[in-house]
């Protein structure tokens, strides 16, 4: 399929979802559905792509995820007919666009009620570390996405089984927050980025990308990872970049995002940023570690050895009269 994905990096996450040990297909299906229902009208290519991707994921996710997606699409007037049939949805009449979900049979009384896992249980179950290439794909996808797509990604990261970075120690975070506020008041973005890199253990390249990102969502993740109070984050937005802080819309949007952003989502994104640097390092030195020497090796110049090596011929003595002896 040559059509562009609904958001950048989706094909990379599909590759990640098929690898053994890392199953984020439920998250992918939820994100794809949320993005699709945001628009009331879709082109033929967008609808065909949604049907193709969703059909593959519906049969591969758990019942809870399938039920959640089914509920979203049941009240969406532009749900494709193929997906309605696959989810068991029907329309009340041929002329009505609103699909209705089929009646759900009541569960037998003898079956125990399955409770949704708590946040603590999700944290304990999150032990799947990201590979460097997978972390780089997630990081690149996040930086390339738009504002609404970034919000959906951060919202769904809270439910992924990926391992989050450990919390920043409270004493270290408190010291960093004080320095960050002072740098923001002074509009010193250089020292602000340096402190972000040191506090979150990020290379300077990533720290500067987080601070100078025009959308502001990466900065919200970094602040949440440091457990910055909401009022302090708003002050940072207002003073760090005067051009950005002068926009009431941007400040209000990021403030709402920050209030809803969970600590786990920020720490998972922090783990992706840290892991992506390992992928860059491996790619940089792979040639030197593998076959670079083979390409740079010079063919040894063939040298013809003399027939008689120095010192091997017998010495010829001459007498005082010039005769050979």
Diameter over CA atoms, the chain:
133
Rounded Cα distance, 161 and 26, in Å:
10
Q: Which domain holds residue 241?
A: 125-283
Mean pLDDT of 129-153: 86
| Element containing residue 215 per DSSP (H, E) | none
Query: Do 72 and 210 fall into the same domain?
Result: no
Of 97, 35, 37, 28, whose CA–CA distance to 56 is shortest? 28
Q: Residue 319 has what pLDDT?
A: 55
The answer to the question of residue 290 being in a domain is no
How confident is the model at residue 276, as a pLDDT? 81
Long-range contact list for 294-300, CB < 8 A, 24+ apart? none
Instruction: Compute the average pLDDT of residues 265-294.
Output: 67
302 confidence band (pLDDT: 50, 70, 90): very low
In a domain, 196, yes or no: yes
Q: Which of 39-48, 102-111, 117-126, 187-196 has the highest mean pLDDT?
A: 187-196
Nearest alpha carbon to residue 210 among 292, 273, 128, 163: 273
Task: State yes or no: pLDDT of 213 exceeds 50.
Answer: yes
- Percent of the chain predicted with pLDDT > 90: 31
End-to-end CA distance of the chain: 94
pLDDT for 60 equals 85
Average pLDDT of the residues of the chain: 76
Average pLDDT over residues 219-244: 92
pLDDT-based confidence at 32, cuts 50/70/90?
Answer: confident
Q: Do 273 and 139 share a structural domain?
A: yes
Backbone angles phi and psi of 89, in degrees to 5: -90, 155
Q: How many CA atoms lie within 13 A of 6 on its CB side?
A: 30
The reply to whether 318 falls in a domain is: no
Which of these three, 69, 102, 135, is where a domain ends?
A: 102
Q: Is residue 264 domain-shared with residue 180, that is, in the same domain?
A: yes
Angle at 182 between CA 179 and CA 186, to 5 degrees: 135
Does residue 177 belong to any structural domain of this protein?
yes
* Residue 53 and residue 167 in one domain: no
Distance of alpha carbon 75 from alpha carbon 98, whole angstroms = 7
Task: Provide DSSP, 52-108.
Answer: HHHHHHHTTS-HHHHHHHHHHHHT-TT--HHHHHHHTEEESSTT---EEEPPPPPPP
The answer as to whether 254 is a domain residue is: yes
- Asked which of 39-48, 88-97, 188-197 is least confident by mean pLDDT, the reply is 88-97
| Per-residue pLDDT, 121 | 45
Share of the chain above pLDDT 70, in %: 66
pLDDT of residue 304: 52
Q: How far is CA 144 from the centre of its chain?
A: 10
Weakest mean pLDDT among 16-30, 78-92, 294-308 = 294-308
Q: Is the pLDDT of residue 141 over 80?
A: yes
């Amino acid at each position: 399929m040559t059509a562009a994905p609904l958001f950048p990096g989706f094909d990379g996450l599909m590759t990640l979802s098929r690898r053994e040990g890392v199953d984020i297909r439920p998250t992918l299906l939820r994100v794809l559905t949320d993005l699709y229902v945001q628009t009331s009208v879709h082109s033929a290519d967008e609808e065909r792509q949604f049907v193709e991707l969703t059909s593959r994921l519906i049969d591969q996710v758990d019942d809870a995820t399938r039920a959640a997606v089914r509920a979203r699409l049941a009240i969406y007037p532009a749900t494709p007919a193929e997906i309605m049939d696959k989810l068991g949805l029907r329309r009340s009449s041929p002329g009505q666009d609103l699909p209705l979900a089929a009646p759900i049979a009541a569960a037998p009384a003898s079956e125990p009620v399955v409770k949704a896992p708590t946040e603590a249980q999700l944290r304990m179950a999150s032990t799947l570390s990201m590979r460097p290439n997978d972390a780089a794909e997630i990081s690149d996808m996040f930086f390339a996405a738009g504002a609404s797509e970034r919000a959906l990604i951060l919202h769904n990261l809270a439910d992924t089984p990926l391992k989050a970075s450990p919390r920043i120690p409270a004493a270290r975070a408190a010291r960093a927050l004080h320095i960050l506020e002072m740098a923001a008041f002074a509009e010193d973005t250089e020292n602000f980025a340096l402190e972000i890199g040191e506090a979150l253990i990020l290379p300077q390249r990533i720290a500067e990308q987080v601070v100078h990102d025009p959308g502001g969502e990466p900065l919200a993740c970094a602040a949440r990872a440091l457990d910055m109070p909401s009022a302090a984050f708003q002050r940072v937005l207002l003073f760090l970049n005067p051009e950005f802080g002068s926009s009431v819309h941007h400040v209000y949007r990021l403030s709402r995002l920050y209030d809803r952003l969970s600590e786990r989502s920020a720490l998972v994104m922090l783990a992706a940023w840290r892991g992506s640097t390992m992928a860059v390092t491996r790619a940089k030195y792979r040639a030197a570690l593998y076959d670079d020497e083979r390409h740079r090796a010079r063919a040894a110049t063939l040298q013809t050895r003399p027939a008689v090596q120095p010192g091997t011929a017998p010495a010829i003595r001459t007498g005082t009269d010039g005769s050979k002896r």
